[in-house]
Chains A and B, each alone.
Chain A
Amino acid sequence: DIQMTQSPSSLSASVGDRVTITCQASQDINNYLNWYQQKPGKAPKVLIYDASNLETGVPSRFSGSGSGTDFTFTISSLQAEDIATYYCQQYNDLITFGGGTKVEMK
């Protein structure tokens, strides 16, 4: 099984801050990594697919990078509506999600 380790598990930031979340795979997953946003009581929504591709309609302040085992998700300027939990997900071998990062407002 491929394990996905996401960090931090939570963070607190202010409006306008740059937010960075990392995701590490237990083995090489090429670029086969997606990022999702989940707001309380709602289903997740895909933001980034294939490590760095922005899903249609997603604001450009969201971005992703990385390949192999190490990946980064960035919000360039945090907005109030970005308060949510973010998950990475690999699809190189079946599907595994990271543990999630809860982003809160400072």
Chain B
Amino acid sequence: QMQLQESGPGLVKPSQTLSLTCTVSGGSVTSGSYYWTWIRQPAGKGLEWIGRIYTTGSTNYSPSLKSRATISLDTSKNEFSLSLRSVTAADTAVYYCATEAIVGAHPYFYYMDVWGKGTTVIVSS
């Protein structure tokens, strides 16, 4: 049973870089069956997809965050990470890591099937 756990600072100052890590257990980030994904949710608001990375290192990002976000893989530690530069108060949110499963045969189905519990990040001086 795969499990994900987010970790990182809960408080980041404006203009600095938010850095989070997602540790994977019960599975491998080298698996070709998943995209490794970051999603966030401001308090009381909806879900916002940030981006994803595949085992090959290929990445996709939300157009609204593409200029500030970087997602990377560390196969030696079986984890993946998010960096978000130049943060403001608008980046305050619960950040989730998740797996986007690639299911079936062509055409494939894709859906987020395993989620971490989420970690709250507050941007404030």
Find chain B residues with CB under 8 A from A49 CB: 103, 109, 111
**A97 contacts B49, CB within 8 Å?**
yes
**B47 contacts A87, CB within 8 Å?**
yes
Q: Chain A interface: which size bin?
A: 20 to 34
Write out, one digit per residue, whether chain B residues 82-125 have a CB within 8 A of any chain A CB (1) or not (0).
Answer: 00000000000000101010010000011111011110000000
Find chain B residues with CB under 8 A from A99 CB: 46
Please, how many angstroms separate the alpha-carbon atoms of A87 and B48 in the complex?
11
**B46 contacts A87, CB within 8 Å?**
yes
**A97 contacts B111, CB within 8 Å?**
no
**B109 contacts A97, CB within 8 Å?**
no
Please, how many angstroms separate the alpha-carbon atoms of A97 and B112 in the complex?
12
Please, how many angstroms separate the alpha-carbon atoms of A38 and B113 in the complex?
13
For the complex formed, measure the closest distance between the CB of B70 and the CB atoms of chain A, giving whole angstroms: 16
Find chain B residues with CB under 8 A from A100 CB: 46-47
19 A-B pairs with CB atoms under 8 Å apart are: A34-B112, A36-B112, A43-B98, A46-B111, A46-B113, A50-B111, A87-B46, A94-B49, A94-B60, A94-B62, A95-B52, A95-B100, A96-B49, A97-B46, A97-B48, A97-B49, A98-B46, A99-B46, A100-B47
